[in-house]
């Protein structure tokens, strides 16, 4: 858009707080912006949108991929269809409801995030920035630095709260699709970590009910260890097709692991090269009885290699043929 076209867009800004003790979930206050700030914010969002485009043969374009619960992501925008998640759909509806009902008792210091709504005719896009309000230094105890501003010929204490706008785009919504650049913003804004935990628990239950788990698999300890927060995202991201493949191919993978272990060369340096090539696989033998094709979780060893195995994150390099694990 040109500057003239940007001028035709309607822009509205809301400060939003969490209503943790209410079914409403959110409180919001619509802000009145100075015309210069309004123009600056439109241009800033336009620039940030251009910054997240990727070079391609057809020119710069947005590259999106399905959201998969991962904490880190590559250079793409994670796309989440809101209609596919009833809980998220309900929370978003309550956020929009809060935006449409200005809360007269809203305090700036309670703001947890901002929503910038940009509209053209009947089309809307919502940009969410997880950014609160910087409380005036005068309101803070034991402040060691005091900001000042120049007023005519003297410096005076800057005793107002500061609201920052702009910065990198973290999450935006358009036409029932959520586009995520910072997964943390999704979690904080919509308490989406609850969803991750539920999906993690569902996948753990599915895995531990497979035939290669039995009374000797140390299942309770495996679930307890695997439920640590840092591992939750990777477990939640395991798709149904991966779980289906795991159950179908577990015995075959055990046969392959058994063969790899039995084929370790005796002579150096072939042995050293062989051990290096399969370095991602050796930790699995601490948790899998490959001969009896059963899981035997050993809590004295890291669970991560086993989770990499379950989630199909152990891959073989096309170039070197060495095995490695993708990191959660």
Enumerate residues 6+ apart whose C-beta is below 8 A from 104.
none
Burial class (CB in 10 A: 0-12, 13-18, 19+), 197: middle
3-state secondary structure of 139: helix
pLDDT at position 207: 95
pLDDT at position 328: 45
Predicted structure pTM score:
0.73
pLDDT at position 184: 87
What DSSP assignment string belongs to 249-315?
A: HHHHHHHHHHHHHHT--SSTTHHHHHHHHTTTTGGGGGTEETTTTEE---TTS-SHHHHHHHTT-EE
Please compute, for residue 219, the number of CA atoms within 13 A of its CA located in the half-sphere on the CB side: 14
3-state secondary structure of 210: coil
Pairing of strands 77-81, 64-66: parallel
pLDDT at position 315: 67
d(CA 262, CA 205): 32
3-state secondary structure of 220: helix
Pairing of strands 171-174, 113-120: unpaired
pLDDT tens over the chain, length 328 residues: 888 899 999 999 999 999 877 788 999 999 999 999 999 999 999 999 999 998 888 888 999 988 877 655 666 899 999 998 898 999 999 999 999 998 888 888 888 999 999 999 999 999 999 987 777 766 777 777 878 888 888 988 877 878 888 889 999 999 999 999 988 899 899 988 888 888 899 999 999 999 999 999 999 999 999 988 677 778 888 888 999 999 999 999 999 999 999 999 988 888 999 999 899 899 999 999 999 999 999 999 999 999 999 988 876 665 666 666 665 4
């Amino acid at each position: 858009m040109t500057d003239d076209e940007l001028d035709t867009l309607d822009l509205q800004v809301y400060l939003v707080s969490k209503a943790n003790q209410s079914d409403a979930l959110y409180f919001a206050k619509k802000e009145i912006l100075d015309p210069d700030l309004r123009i600056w914010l439109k241009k800033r969002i336009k620039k940030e949108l251009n910054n997240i485009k990727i070079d391609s043969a057809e020119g710069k374009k947005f590259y999106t991929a399905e959201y998969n619960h991962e904490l880190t992501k590559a250079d793409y925008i994670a796309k989440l269809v809101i209609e596919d998640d009833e809980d998220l759909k309900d929370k978003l509806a309550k956020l929009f409801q809060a935006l449409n009902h200005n809360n007269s008792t809203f305090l700036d210091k309670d703001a947890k995030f901002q929503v910038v709504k940009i509209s053209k005719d009947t089309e809307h896009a919502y940009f969410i920035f997880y950014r609160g309000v910087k409380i005036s230094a005068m309101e803070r105890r034991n402040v060691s630095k005091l900001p000042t501003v120049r007023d005519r010929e003297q410096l005076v204490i800057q005793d107002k709260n500061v609201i920052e706008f702009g910065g990198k785009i973290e999450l935006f919504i358009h036409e029932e699709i959520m586009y995520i650049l910072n997964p943390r913003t999704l979690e904080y804004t919509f308490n989406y970590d609850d969803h991750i935990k539920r999906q993690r628990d569902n996948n753990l239950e599915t895995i531990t009910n497979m035939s290669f788990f039995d009374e000797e698999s140390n299942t309770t300890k495996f679930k307890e260890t695997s439920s640590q927060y840092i591992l939750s995202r990777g477990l939640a991201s395991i798709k149904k097709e991966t779980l289906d493949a795991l159950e179908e191919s577990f015995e075959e993978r055990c046969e392959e692991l058994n063969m790899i272990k039995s084929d370790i060369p005796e002579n150096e340096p072939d042995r050293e090269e062989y051990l290096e090539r399969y370095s991602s696989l050796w930790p699995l033998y601490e948790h899998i009885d490959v001969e009896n094709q059963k899981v035997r979780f050993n809590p004295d060893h890291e669970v991560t290699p086993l989770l990499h195995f379950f989630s199909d994150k152990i891959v073989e390099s096309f170039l070197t043929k060495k095995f490695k694990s993708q990191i959660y």
